[in-house]
Structure 1
Amino acid sequence: MKNRFIKGSLAALVATLATNAFAATEVTVYTAFEADILAKYKNAFEKTNPDIQIKWVRDSTGIMTAKLLAEKNNPQAEVVWGLAGSSMALLKEEGILKPYTPNGLDKLRVELNDPQSEQAWYGNDAFFNAVCFNEAVAKQLDLPKPTSWEDLTNPVYKGQIAMPNPASSGTGYMQVSAWLQNMGEDKGWAYMKDLHQNIAHYTHSGSKPCVEAGMGEVAIGISMASRGAKLKTQGAPLDVITPAGIGWESEAVGIVNPSDAAKRVVDWSISKEANELYIEMYPVVGHKDVEATIANFPNVQQKMAKMDFARMGNERSDVLRTWSDKFDGKSEAK
C-alpha cells in the first residue's frame, strides 16, 4: 500500500512538472487589425511557436491608441501589432514603445518602418483608402459616379455618404490628415464642412462604410480599399474609386514589454511567413520578397497623398478635438 502511494505521488508530481514545463506563455497583444483575420494570424504564429499563446485585445485604431496612452504608467500590453504608423510614432514619443531590433529587419521595406534612430516600430503592411460606390443604388437614385473629392460635395449625394469617425478609426483619421496635409489647413477644414452636409453618418469602424455601401444602405462609403476589393470580388455591385490624394498609412508592430516571448511575437510578425498572410488582404506588405496581385484592388500608386506620419501623430489630439467639435453630431452611437 505504501509503495503504491509513493508511486502514485511520484506519478502525480511528474505529471504536474510536465504540465508546467509545457504550459504556454501568454502574451497580451493589442491590435487594430480587422477582427476577422485575428484567428488566422494567431493560429499561424502558435503553430510555429507552440510554447507561446497570443491573447488579443482588439479595438479600432483611435480607441486602441487612447487605451495605450491611458495605460502609460501601468502598461497592460506586451506587444502592439497592427496599429497605424502615426499612432506608433506617438506611442514611441510617449515612451510606451521600447526600441527593439527584430530578427529579419534587413528583409523589410524601409519606407514602412520607424524613420527615426533607435527604431521601435516596423511596418507589416500599407493600407489605403478608397471610395466604395454602389452602382446599383446609383442607378436607382440616378446618382453620377464621383471621380474627385470635390465631387462628393455635390448636393445630389445628400444623406448617401458614410465615412469613419477619425477619433475612433485610423482609416478615418488618415483621410482627414491627408485632406489637411494636401489641401492645406483652411481649405481642408472648409472641404470637410461641405462634405459634412452630405454625410449620412460617421461610423466607428474603418471598413463599415464600404460594407454599408456594398449592402446598399448608402450609395458611397469612404473606407478601406482592401475591403472594397474583397466585397467586389464576393459579388457586391461596387466600383472602388481612388480620387487623387487618397489617405494611406502603414500598420506596424512594436514592443511594450521586451520579454523573450514578446520579442518572438515581433520577430515572427515581420517574417516572410507572416507577410504571406498579410498579402492576402493588403496589396503592399513589409517584406521585400512578398508580392501578390489582389483581385479588384484599385491602382493606388498614382493617387496616394503625400503623408507625414510624424505630423499625423503629433497633430492627432488637436485635429480630433477640432473635428469632433465640428462634426461629431452625426456619429453613430458607440
Structure 2
Amino acid sequence: MNARTFLISTAFLTLSVVSTAAQTELTVYTAFEAEFLERYAAAFNKEHPDIKINWVRDSTGVVTAKLLAEKNNPKADVVWSLAASSLNLLKSEGMLEAYAPKGVEALDVRFVDTDTPPTWVGLNAWAAAICFNTVEAARHGLPTPRTWADLTRPEFAGHVVMPNPASSGTGFLDVSAWLQMWGGDAWDFMDKLHANIASYTHSGSKPCKMAASGETVAGISFDFRGAKAKTDGAPIEVIIPEEGIGWDMEAAAIIAGTPNLEAAKTLLDWSITPAAMAEYNQAYAILAIPGLSRPIPNYPANVEAKMIRNDFEWAATSRKSILEEWSKRYDTKSEPRT
C-alpha cells in the first residue's frame, strides 16, 4: 500500500506518493487552492503511481512572476492550474511546449489554446462574484449591491475588500474585465471603488472568507468560494453584478525544455480526463468538457450568462502596463506580504 506524505510551507508544498517501483519526479507549479492538492494528486497517482509530484504552490500572480523570473533556468516541468491569461503571457515568451493531450477534442473550444498543436489546455473556469454578509450589512444599514457601481456608493466606505491584481488571478480578472467593458472609464470606476476599499488582499479567496466571518461586509472574490462559504453556513449572499463579470480558467501546460517530457505529457493527458473533471467539479461548476458538471449547492444561477467575452490574448499582452498603472494608483491599501 502506498504511504503518503504532505508537507506545506509558505510558498513550497510537496506531496509524494512513495512506491516500491522507480518513480519519475515532476516539479509542478500550481495556483490550485491548497485544500485540493492532496486529493488531486491522489487521484492522479491512483492511475500513475510511477510519477511523483513535487508541488510549488502560491497565488496566480506570484506563480506567474516566479516562472518569468526562471525563464532562462526553468525549475518547473509542468504548470497544472494557472490562469489562461498568465499562460498566454508565458506562451508569448516562448516558455511552453506545444502538446495536444489525449482527448483534447472533447474540450469546449474556449478551453484550448488557438495554436496547433496547443501550448495550453483549460481545465475549468472561475468567475467574479461579490460575497455579501447580510448580517453585517443590516448592522451597518447597508443595501444589497446589485451592480459594481453600487460598491462605490459613499455608505460602503471601509466595507469592501478585493484582491490585489498583481498577486491574485481573481484580482486581475476583475481589473482586466472592467477595462474590457468600460475602456478608460474603468479607471474612474476604480478610483471611486478605491475610496471604499478597506484593503487589497494577496489571495482571491480571502475577501470572501473575510465576508463570511464578518470581518468585512462585501468581499470581491469568486463564484465557487462564495457558494462554499454559504453552504458551510456563512450568512452571505453570492452576488453576480449586473454589468457583467470577469472570468478566467485554470489551465495546464508543459514547460519547454523539461527533461521529463514523457511524464509531463502523461500528467497533461490525465488533467483533462473525465476523472480529473470529476475532481475539479467538487468546487468548480464550469468544466472544460461540456456536460460533465454536476450542480454545486448555492452556486449562483446566472454566472455563465454574465461572463464577458474575455480577450485572453489582450489580457496577457496588457498585463504589465495594467499592473503598473494599478499599483501606482492603489497599492497603498494592499495588505503586507507575508
Counterparts of 1:237 and 1:202 in 2: how far apart (Å)? 22
1:313 maps to 2:316:
yes
Secondary structure, counterpart of 1:311 in structure 2: helix
Counterparts of 2:160 and 2:116 in 1: how far apart (Å)? 41
Structure 1 residue 60: deviation in Å? 0.6
Match in the other structure for 1:259: 261
Counterparts of 1:154 and 1:31 in 2: how far apart (Å)? 37
Contact 2:173 2:247 in 1 (8 A): yes
1:92 maps to 2:91:
yes
Counterparts of 1:48 and 1:289 in 2: how far apart (Å)? 24
Alignment of 1:85-124 (within 5 A): 85-124=84-123
Counterparts of 2:37 and 2:336 in 1: how far apart (Å)? 25
Query: Which of 40-49 and 256-265 deviates more?
Result: 256-265
Counterparts of 2:178 and 2:206 in 1: how far apart (Å)? 21
Change (3 A) 1:64 1:283: same
C-alpha offsets along residues 226-278 of structure 1, whole Å, 9 cap, x if unaligned?
10000000100000000131110111000012611111111111111000111
Match in the other structure for 1:204: 202
What amino acid is aligned across from residue 332 of structure 2 in structure 1? G
Match in the other structure for 2:234: 236
Secondary structure, counterpart of 1:250 in structure 2: strand
Secondary structure, counterpart of 1:120 in structure 2: coil
Match in the other structure for 1:287: 289
Structure 1 residue 289: deviation in Å? 4.4
C-alpha offsets along residues 205-228 of structure 1, whole Å, 9 cap, x if unaligned?
000000000000000000011100
Match in the other structure for 1:5: none
Query: Which of 116-125 and 323-332 deviates more?
Result: 116-125
Counterparts of 2:136 and 2:303 in 1: how far apart (Å)? 25
Structure 1 residue 83: deviation in Å? 0.3
Structure 1 residue 291: deviation in Å? 1.6
Counterparts of 2:61 and 2:293 in 1: how far apart (Å)? 29
What amino acid is aligned across from residue 84 of structure 1 in structure 2? A
What amino acid is aligned across from residue 122 of structure 1 in structure 2? V
Contact 2:19 2:49 in 1 (8 A): no
Structure 1 residue 37: deviation in Å? 0.5
Structure 1 residue 20: deviation in Å? 10
Q: Which runs of 5+ in 1 are unaligned?
A: 1-18
C-alpha offsets along residues 56-77 of structure 1, whole Å, 9 cap, x if unaligned?
1001111100110110110000
RMSD (Å), alpha carbons = 1.3
Structure 1 residue 21: deviation in Å? 7.7
Counterparts of 1:95 and 1:70 in 2: how far apart (Å)? 14
Counterparts of 1:289 and 1:201 in 2: how far apart (Å)? 39
1:192 maps to 2:194:
no
Counterparts of 1:288 and 1:49 in 2: how far apart (Å)? 25
Could you state the TM-score of these two structures normalised by the residue count of structure 2?
0.91
Q: Which runs of 5+ in 2 are unaligned?
A: 1-17
What amino acid is aligned across from residue 247 of structure 1 in structure 2? G
Match in the other structure for 2:4: none
The counterpart of 1:214, out of the listed 194, 198, 212, is: 212
Alignment of 1:1-334 (within 5 A): 22-184=21-183, 186-243=184-241, 244-256=243-255, 257=258, 259-298=261-300, 299-334=302-337
Contact 2:120 2:251 in 1 (8 A): yes
Secondary structure, counterpart of 2:316 in structure 1: helix
Higher helix share: 1
How many residues align? The count is 315
Query: Which of 320-329 and 21-30 deviates more?
Result: 21-30
Structure 1 residue 117: deviation in Å? 3.4
Counterparts of 2:225 and 2:336 in 1: how far apart (Å)? 23
C-alpha offsets along residues 280-313 of structure 1, whole Å, 9 cap, x if unaligned?
1111111234121111111212211221000000
Secondary structure, counterpart of 1:314 in structure 2: helix
Counterparts of 2:277 and 2:291 in 1: how far apart (Å)? 9
C-alpha offsets along residues 140-192 of structure 1, whole Å, 9 cap, x if unaligned?
111000000111000101111000000000000000000001011x2100100
Counterparts of 1:58 and 1:23 in 2: how far apart (Å)? 25
Secondary structure, counterpart of 1:73 in structure 2: coil
Match in the other structure for 1:16: none
Change (3 A) 1:21 1:42: closer
Secondary structure, counterpart of 1:205 in structure 2: coil
Mark the structure with the bigger radius of gyration.
Answer: 1
What amino acid is aligned across from residue 188 of structure 2 in structure 1? A
What amino acid is aligned across from residue 311 of structure 1 in structure 2? W
Could you state the TM-score of these two structures normalised by the residue count of structure 1?
0.92
Counterparts of 1:135 and 1:288 in 2: how far apart (Å)? 34
Change (3 A) 1:20 1:230: closer
What amino acid is aligned across from residue 205 of structure 1 in structure 2? S
What amino acid is aligned across from residue 157 of structure 1 in structure 2? F
